A and B are shown apart, each in its own frame.
Chain A
Amino acid sequence: MAMTTTPEAVHSRAEATYRPAANRLGLWLFLASETFLFSAFISSRFVVSGTDQPEHLNQGLALLLTLLLLWSSISAFRAEAAMAHDNRRLFHREMLTTIVLGALFLVGVGVEFNEALTDFPANTIYGSSFFMLIGLHAFHVLTGILALGVVWNLGRLGHYGSDNHWPVEGVVKYWHFVDLMWVAIYPTLYLFGGS
């Protein structure tokens, strides 16, 4: 087959190659800026209360939330891999699993907030750090769920494929970032003070 060499075709090929790299770089820069935000909140916890923590932390629930988020990460990973290999059935299933697990995580956070409001209200030193950090992270989980929902729906409608799955890659990368931040937040709020 003869290769098209019109300026438009050359530009189109260059754009197709350039665009994903630019998108990836943009997302990584965004995630870097988000890391600064989370770092500020995490460091504020140590500045205001060291590694002290209240006695009534629900360790069991926090561990369960951590494992839920971890499970959602592997399902998101599977969804991305599925779309990259044109396996739409697996993509649908794993995206839905990720969304449900994210929603369950938010329900767990709601339960945790309810308990925390009586054990260490937001106007206490530890409580202020706790509600700020968990709230910030939960908001990211919520936006992640919304973004996953949009991408899942578009995928369901036939968008994306092995040669065009950047939106899936982008939203899944964001989801992994949310998990990555929890890896730091969990010990910061629940474990550093010891038993």
Chain B
Amino acid sequence: MSDNSHDTAGLMTVIQRGWFTAGALAVLTLVEYVVATTVDAPTLWLLPFIIAKGGLILEVFMHSSDLKTLDGGNA
């Protein structure tokens, strides 16, 4: 029982992290759109948005940090 509640709490923590990330991605996307439609020649202004959004997806959603341990242990 306590294992189960601990597991549920762990799941909620992970999911909460996902929601924060999704919220950040949504805000970045909307600001990116506003910048693109209000600034002349916005290419350079948009690059930080691409990097930030890509970094968030890679790190939080794709667990890119796991790459560091791939060749450890038995691999």
Which of B37, B53, B74 is the one whose CB lies under 8 Å from A183? Answer: B53
How far, in angstroms, from A186 to B63 measured CA to CA in the complex?
Answer: 23
Residues of A within 8 A of B53 (CB): 183
How many Å from the CB of B36 to the closest CB on chain A?
A: 4
Question: In the complex the two chains form, is B10's CB within 8 Å of A85's CB?
Answer: yes
Q: How many A-B residue pairs have CB under 8 A?
A: 111
Residues of A within 8 A of B29 (CB): 63, 66-67, 70
Against A, the Cβ 8 Å flags (1 = close, 0 = not) of B3-46 are 00001101100110011011001100100110011111111001
Q: Does A74 contact B (CB under 8 A)?
A: yes
Q: Does B67 contact A (CB under 8 A)?
A: yes
30 contacts between A and B (CB under 8 A): A17-B73, A18-B75, A21-B70, A51-B41, A51-B43, A59-B37, A70-B29, A73-B61, A76-B61, A77-B60, A78-B18, A81-B11, A85-B7, A85-B8, A86-B7, A87-B11, A173-B62, A173-B63, A179-B61, A180-B58, A187-B46, A187-B49, A187-B50, A191-B36, A191-B46, A192-B43, A194-B36, A194-B42, A195-B36, A195-B37
Across the A-B interface, give the 7 residue pairs with the lowest CB-CB distance, nearest first.
A191-B36, A21-B75, A74-B22, A85-B11, A18-B74, A77-B18, A176-B61
Which positions in A face B, CB cutoff 8 Å? 14, 17-18, 21-22, 24-25, 28, 51, 59, 63, 66-67, 70-71, 73-74, 76-78, 81-82, 84-87, 90, 173, 176-177, 179-180, 183-184, 187, 190-192, 194-195
